[in-house]
Amino acid sequence: MRRVFNGDMGLVMIVAPEHVNALQAALGEPSWVIGRVAPSDS
């Protein structure tokens, strides 16, 4: 079940890299960058 369902992340946001620091400061909660959107190689 843990492979299918997200059991640990409460909220995921997609944010432009240049806005990450400002958003993290504004949230007032711990947050982490967990990935990035990249173009496909195909």
Residue 36 scores a pLDDT above 80: yes
What SS3 string covers 7-25? CCCCCCCCCCHHHHHHHHH
In whole angstroms, what is the distance from residue 34 CA to residue 10 CA? 13
The pTM (predicted TM-score) of the whole model is: 0.64
In Å, how far are 1, 2, 11, 25, 34 from 20, measured between CA atoms? 31, 28, 15, 9, 12
pLDDT at 1: 65
Domain borders along the chain are 1-30
Mean pLDDT for 5-22 is: 86
Residue 6 scores a pLDDT above 80: no
In whole angstroms, what is the distance from residue 36 CA to residue 40 CA? 12
